[in-house]
Structure 1
Amino acid sequence: MEISHIAFLINPFCSKRTRTYAHWVEEQVELKTQGTLRVVMFFQDWPPNLDGFNQIWVLGGDGTYNYFANAYPNCHLPIAFFKGGTGNDFYWKLYGDVTKEAHLNIILSEKSRAVDAGMCNGQLFLNGVGMGLEGEVLESMNAIRAIGGLIGYFLAAIPQIFTFRSFPIRMSLGSEWIERRVFLCMVFNSSRAGGGFHFIPNASIWDNQLDILLCEPLSIFKRIWYLPKIQQGKHEHISFLHFQQAKQVTILSERKLKAQIDGELIVSNRFEFHVLPGHFHVIVP
């Protein structure tokens, strides 16, 4: 009997509840596969390489997924993602709202598909990058990370909605540069961030493109009025929002901007992006 070995990489800072979930997965796999899949769990030190494994399973949130992508940037093994974070936006893009039982059945079906990734300043991302406001919100969220999710995002975002100032950028999608002043500036591979904000609802992780969202400067009233619409993804036809696609984009700012990249904070005044078509093979429905 041939045995497949699974490296189950778990967020080292996971909660007791997440640890219990990991052990439930291990037990269910043993029952369902009768030993043909052998799960090797890594709670603290992840392996230096993935030699000897047939699949990789990753348990955590968007930040954990980002850490995985950059720790093993050339992984060509089938990857399964398990929900165990505060936002879980990339998980939602892959699997939607399914029960843990249904999700595990999807993983055990072992049907994989190549999904795109993005690169920003030499760092891989799966979900997206938000510059300016998104970076400020993330820094505020770090103080209330225990709350997390959509509620945590709102609590961090509301003060920034009142105080954040729009900023000028220069952007190039090729040889031509444009200059704009923006309130929001985002480059995404996927469509959702912040634990449920559908910033770019039609973005696809299969189309070999990056999606760009620019928002013109807004009054405080408009910021408050349109925030729920953006959260719900009902904003694609609003005149002050501009959507574009590109395989490569450069964004420059006169000052250093805080940015979130898959929920992790970076700071720069130059952001170089390009898409990596079909870079990872992910087990999906």
Structure 2
Amino acid sequence: MNRSACLIFNPVAGQGEPEQELAKIKEILSPEIDLDIQFTTPEIDADQLAQAAVERGVKIIIASGGDGTLSAAAAAVVGKDVSFGIISRGTANAFATALEIPDSIESACETILQGATRSVDAAFCNGFPMVLLTGIGFEAETVERADRESKNRLGIMAYVLAGLQELGNLETFDVEIETEDKIIKTRAAAVTVANAAPPTSILAQGPAGIVVDDGLLDLTILAPASKTAAIASAFHLFQTASAGNATERDDIGYLRAKQFKITTNPPQKFVVDGEVLGNTPLEINCIPSGLQIFVPLVEEEELVEKLEGLPNLVVEMK
């Protein structure tokens, strides 16, 4: 007997041909999974479709679209006994990259068919679901500048160009950050709180090595003294993230906590998983093991050892 699943499909995501992409998904999944296909529209978002599926008792929900679609669909699944499949078709595909899920349609579908799941953390930011990150200040302004037309035309480069343009408007703000055990006050140009983030999300990479199932959120503060320092800080974050090392610059700070309350003066826009959703203040809370995500099967590595040549070697077999 085939499994059944609700497929939530965003027909305007990414730069491909949606009809062909949907046909490919159906070709791969339909022989083994009975698909109930639901389309997002300007009036009906992915979270509404996913919530309706949960209420119908659906045990597998698959979302296909950009990071905003995936995050919205995940909202209805957090804390539920539902397995969540990801088929990324967006511009950045940060969601899939951060969770080590293939971003090609074929490989993503095969991952779902394999049936292996992993528990990962989720979070809520002012009531909005957050799987990846929340950006305050510079990142939010950059995302807003990269409109749909430029993303369709330029792809990921739309974000790069928007970031370079936004540097001309770089402004700092006072920020107060409250955790379970401390209150931090400083001045910053960007504050990023990450649950999961690919290395390309450089403003989230202060601590590097973000862990998606540790029950903690990672906060990075970028506080450059000038536009030149901002460029240098961003480049440093790129280098350290690529090497898997924590940052060492004085104008970058980071910490980990289960929750954050953040206020700014003046109020700043914030972006959650690629969507600008409001202005500060905000509160972010981690939901440990909040999602059951389909992930690729990992082959167990063969144990390798080399002992020969060690001085005074004695090996006793048990």
Scaled by the length of structure 2, what TM-score is found?
Answer: 0.80
CA deviation after TM superposition for structure 1 residue 38, in Å: 1.3
Give the alignment of 1:192-203 within 5 angstroms. 192=198, 196-198=200-202, 199-200=204-205, 201-203=208-210
Please point out which of 31, 40, 65 is paired with 2:36: 40
Map of 1:26-175 to 2, 5 A cutoff? Answer: 26-30=26-30, 35-44=31-40, 46=49, 48-50=52-54, 51-95=56-100, 99-142=104-147, 144-147=150-153, 149-175=155-181
Unaligned stretches of 5+ residues in structure 1? none
Matches within 5 A, 1:251-270: 251-270=262-281
- Quote how far apart the aligned CAs of 1:229 are: 4.0
Alignment CA distance shift 1:19-1:230 (3 Å): farther
User: Whose RCO is larger (CA < 8 A, sep 6+)?
Assistant: 1
Q: Compared with structure 1, are the counterparts of its residues 259 and 98 closer, same or farther at alpha carbon in structure 2 (3 Å cutoff)?
A: closer
How far is the alpha carbon of 1:192 from its aligned partner?
Answer: 3.0
For the residues of structure 2 that align with 1:282 and 1:266, how far apart are their CA atoms?
Answer: 25
- Tell me, in whole angstroms, the C-alpha distance in 1 between the residues paired with 2:77 and 2:197: 23
CA distance 1:260–1:49, shift in 2 (3 Å): same
Q: Say whether residues 1:184 and 2:180 are aligned partners.
A: no
2:1 is the alignment partner of 1:9: no
Residues 265, 3 of structure 1: alpha-carbon distance in 2 compared, 3 angstrom cutoff: same
In structure 2, distance between residues paired with 1:98 and 1:10 = 15
Figure out how many residues of one structure are paired with residues of the other and give that number. 278
Distance 1:60 1:207 in 2: 27
Structure 1 residue 16, shift from structure 2 partner? 5.7
Greater radius of gyration (CA): 2
Q: Any conservation in 1 of the 2:174–2:266 contact (CA below 8 Å)?
A: no
| Bigger Cα displacement from structure 2, 9-18 vs 19-28 | 9-18
RMSD: 2.3
TM-score normalised to structure 1 length: 0.88
Q: Does the CA-based 8 Å contact 1:130-1:261 persist in structure 2?
A: yes
Q: Which amino acid aligns with 1:29?
A: L
Higher normalized strand content (fraction of residues): 1
Structure 2 unpaired stretches of 5+ = 297-318
- Give 2:286's aligned residue: 275
CA distance in structure 1 between the partners assigned to 2:277 and 2:36 by the alignment: 32
Q: Percent identity?
A: 22
Asked if structure 2 preserves the Cα contact closer than 8 Å seen for 1:95 and 1:103, the reply is: no
Distance 1:69 1:104 in 2: 17
Equivalent in the alignment of 1:21: 21
